[in-house]
Structure formats: C-alpha cells, structure tokens
Amino acid sequence: MATDVAPAAELLGVEEVIGSIIVANNSALTTVAADALRSVSNLMVLDNLPLLSNITLPMWSAVNTLILNKIPAPNVLNLQTTVQKVTNLYITDTTLETLFGLLLRTSQMENLVITGNKFLQDCWFGVGNITQQATIVDNSGTMSLTLPNLTYAYNMEITNASAISMPVLQSVNQHLDISWNTIQNLSLPELNYVGGEFSVMNNAQLTEMDLPDLVNVQGDVDISNNHQLKELTALSMLAYIGGDLTVQGEFDDARLTSLGSVGGNISLHTTDGDATCADLPKTLARGTYTCSAPGNGRNSLSKGAIAGIVVAAVLGTAAIIGATLWCVLRRRKFNSDVREIVHPDGAERPPLPLKEKRTSYGYYDLKTAEQVVEGGRGPKEPDVEMRDLTRKHSELERHEEAFEMPTEANVDRREMPTSPTGAAVEMESPGAVVARNER
C-alpha cells in the first residue's frame, strides 16, 4: 500500500498472508487495521508513515520479519501481546516511547535491532536466544533495557542505555560491546564466555561492574575511558584472553588475579590512580607490552596499608627512644650507687678460677658442639632425666661426706711451739711480722 490519499489501511477478514504486507511512504495514513489476521509468512513493514496514530492487529500471532521504520508513537497500539512470534524485529527511527506492546513470547529470534528511537524509554523483550544479531543502539539516553530471559546471543551491541538488565545471559558467540552508555553498574552475573571481542568503553558514569563468572574471552578485551571505574575486581575470574588486552582509564587497581595468558598484546595506560605496571605483568603477554602508570613510581601498597606502616614506624621509633633513655638513666643510677671494693692490703684481686666443665650432667661434648655449628650432626648424648640428675647429686653429696680429713696416720703432725714452762707461745700476727722486717 503506497498512497498519499487513503487515511486508513484495513485488511478485513483475512487470517493468513503467504507473503508480505508492506505499508510505506504514505503521508496521510492514520490507521492500520487487520481484524482477523493471525500470521504473515514473510515481511510486515510499516515504513515512513508520519501521521500514523492507530495500529489495530488484535489477532495477530506470528510473522517472520516485522519492520517499524519512521513512524510516530501511535495513540492506540492494539496488538496480541501474549502469543506473538517474530523471527526478526527491526524498530528504527521512530518516536515510540515504549515497546511494552511487543511483549514477545518468542523463545528464539534471529535479529533484534532497536536503533535511532530518540524518545524510547523502556525496551523489554522476553526472548531467550538471539542467533544472529542484537543491536540496541542510539536510542534515548534514558532508555532502560530489560532482557530477562536472554541466555545466548550470537553478536551483541548496546549503547545509549541508562540501565541494562540481562540476569541470565551466559554466552555470546561473537562480540559483546557495551559502550557509550549512562549506566552506573554493569551486572552480568551468569556470563562466562565471549567468543569474540568484549568491549566496555566510554561509559562516563560507570562505577561498578559485576561479572563474577566470566572466564574465557577468545578475542580482544578493551576496558577504556570509563573514568569513574577505579578497579577491575569484577573480572577476577577471567583466566584467558585470546586477543589483545587494553586497559585505559584512571585505575587504582588494574589487577586481573586469575589471568594466566593473553594471546596478543597488553596495553595498560592510566592517567591517574595507584595502579602500577605490576598489576598486569609483561609475562602475561605473548605479543608486545606497553604500560604507562603514574602509580608505578609510588609505593604499590594501598593507602590504608601505607598509613598503618607509618603509624607503626612512628610508634616503634618512640618505643626505641624511650627504651634507650630508660637504659641510660638506669645505668647512671647504677653507676652512682656502686662502689668498687678495694682489698684491705691493696693487693690485686686474684683471677677467678676456671669453671670446670662437668660432662656427667648431660652437657654436650665440645667437639660435638663444633660439628653441629659446622653443619655436621654428631652423635647426641641421651637427655638425662630429672631423677638421674637427682641421683647423681646425691652420690656427689655422699662422696663429699665420706671424704676423710688428714689424720696422724697419713700426715706429719706439727705441734704448736711452747715455752720452757710449757705454756703456749703466742704467734706474731702478720702485721707485726711486716713491721719488724721493715725495721
């Protein structure tokens, strides 16, 4: 149907169309209606209808390809919302504000393309698998995208979204590109595999990512120009990257703790933050390695750890100074109280006798100790139990008690000198002898 005069395009009583329905390039058309239509085997196209205000397809259930292009938001959007099946859906350059009228039950689609809809606020589809292309780009900057049942996509690109919800998405066969959005949080809790390139770029308000199961990316990984994103802990399980790894932004922590191999090049560039080149070491890259990180010249410890070390150093220094002062004062007091003991006759103190080594008490032999110090292990004497030590002490005590003092039988007897009268003669004291000799 292509005319500028008919205000309505109606298809009455027709239940099935083997072929296509195309309504296009009609500046006067206000209504499209098909009261009994259930299915269209090929295309249904509504294209360039600037005054369209009423779409009535109450029995419609299936179409191969639905194209809505350059149409206004209709006042009445009467579609069968519970059993629709669409293989390919293209909604481009419309003024639609919501797509809740297209609550597809379709479990599988080939293409889902939603682009250039500047007023679109809510985009919701219940599709489970997208086998060719999912492109949701250049719509309203406040659009919320919800794909609650999507588990698999072949190729996917999302831009200009303020919120993205894909809670059960598990794998993307080719590329997954989530760039130029106003999202604050990117949560893909079930995603574990990307077969091509994985890009998260130019999301100015992105502060958090949650990808706890992403393990394998066969292509490139590009995390760039998300200036509010400070760390990559959301990718802590990522173990393999088949292509290049590019990390660019203002990172405090650029570590990927599980990453074991990067098949291509590594490029790490941070303009601010504490990230260092050690976060992504050169050994991970099979290709070239470039790194520019202001934190590389700083201490790699966290700010909290640095603060803790500084406090500990200050306290440790204070403790050392306090201990030193205490020792000095103690020594001064000790030296002021102690006086040297002088022998009465001025003679020097005799040297202390050498302490006898008593091997019977379980001490190691000196030769054995030297062998241990030199690295050898000589034979170790068995430890002496306490009762043995007690027994040996007792034996020593008995020996000391039994030691016989000198008697007349074994030592010459010396008598004290006496006077002729038999009285004892008093011996001179050592001092008197010294005085007499000096005279």
Q: What residue ranges do the domains of the chain occupy? A: 197-298
Phi, psi of 211 (to 5 degrees): -130, 65
pLDDT at 164: 97
Q: Could you tell me the strand order of the sheet in which 161-165 lies?
A: 122-124, 143-146, 161-165
Q: Measured between alpha carbons, how far is 147 from 165 in angstroms, rounded to an integer?
A: 6
Span 359-374, average pLDDT: 39
pLDDT at 357: 40
Residues 259 and 238 sit within 8 Å (Cβ to Cβ): yes
pLDDT at 380 exceeding the cut of 50: no
pLDDT at 308 exceeding the cut of 70: no
Span 47-70, average pLDDT: 88
Question: What number of residues does the chain have?
Answer: 439
Consecutive H or E run containing 213: none
**What amino acid is encoded at 298 in this protein?**
R
pLDDT at 173 exceeding the cut of 90: yes
Q: Measured between alpha carbons, how far is 330 from 337 in angstroms, rounded to an integer?
A: 11
- Classified as helix, coil or strand, 389 is helix
Measured CA distances, 121 to 89, 143, 164 (Å): 18, 4, 12
pLDDT top residue among 19 and 379: 19
pLDDT at 436: 54
pLDDT in tens, 253-297: 999 999 999 999 999 999 888 899 999 999 999 999 999 988 765
Residues 116 and 139 sit within 8 Å (Cβ to Cβ): yes
pLDDT at 403 exceeding the cut of 70: no
What's the mean per-residue pLDDT of the chain?
Answer: 76
pLDDT at 134 exceeding the cut of 90: yes
pLDDT at 374 exceeding the cut of 50: no
pLDDT at 293: 87
Beta bridge partners of 44: 21, 66
pLDDT at 243 exceeding the cut of 60: yes
pLDDT at 76 exceeding the cut of 60: yes
Taking Cα atoms as reference points, which of 283, 253, 289, 286 lies closest to residue 270? 253
Consecutive H or E run containing 371: helix 366-373
Percent of the chain whose predicted confidence (pLDDT) is above 90: 46
Residues 187 and 205 sit within 8 Å (Cβ to Cβ): no
Consecutive H or E run containing 99: none
Phi, psi of 437 (to 5 degrees): -65, -35
pLDDT at 311: 57
Q: Measured between alpha carbons, how far is 439 from 432 in angstroms, rounded to an integer?
A: 11
- Residue 98: pLDDT band (50, 70, 90) is confident
The residue to which tokens 């306490």 are assigned: 386
> Measured at the alpha carbon of residue 374, what is the angle toward residues 372 and 375, in degrees to the nearest 5?
65
- Residue 329: pLDDT band (50, 70, 90) is low
Span 48-67, average pLDDT: 87
Span 395-422, average pLDDT: 48
Residues 64 and 87 sit within 8 Å (Cβ to Cβ): yes
pLDDT at 196 exceeding the cut of 70: yes
Residues 127 and 107 sit within 8 Å (Cβ to Cβ): yes
Ramachandran assignment for 70, one of left (phi > 0), alpha (psi -120 to 50 degrees), beta (any other): left
pLDDT at 101 exceeding the cut of 70: no
pLDDT at 319: 65
Phi, psi of 335 (to 5 degrees): -65, -30
pLDDT at 336: 47
Among 89-98, 110-119, 419-428, the range of highest mean pLDDT: 110-119
